[in-house]
Amino acid sequence: MCNCRTDLEARLLERFKEAEPLATGHEVKLTGYAFIFGKQLRMVGVMPIEQTADFPLKKGGTKRKSVKCSMQFTHCPFCGDKYEAGKEDSEDTLS
């Protein structure tokens, strides 16, 4: 598995510290990652999705409804390395 998340978080932290030198306790964390459980634990990128549509009502008219879910990436969104998605014996594990 690539190190894009770790590398990018470190670079963003340095820029944050430069931009806000008077602040203390700087932290940066990329969100949009999920743990995938199988024979081994691994982490992959995900993107939230919101689906919205107008549904008909029995009494007439419509009602707007939204459904939220997430899409799992098959490749790193930064470098393009393939996540071994779906393989139970994947070597993409967390240390």
- Would you place residue 93 in the very low, low, confident or very high pLDDT band (cuts 50, 70, 90)? very low
Spatial distance between the Cα atoms of 82 and 53, rounded to a whole number of angstroms: 33
pLDDT exceeds cutoff 60 at 90: no
pLDDT of residue 91: 45
What is the residue-wise DSSP string for 35-69? EE-SSS-EEEEEEEEEEEEEEEPTTSSEEEEEEEE
pLDDT of residue 43: 86
38-67 tens-digit pLDDT: 888 888 899 989 999 999 999 999 999 999
Overall pTM > 0.95: no
Domain ranges of the chain: 4-72
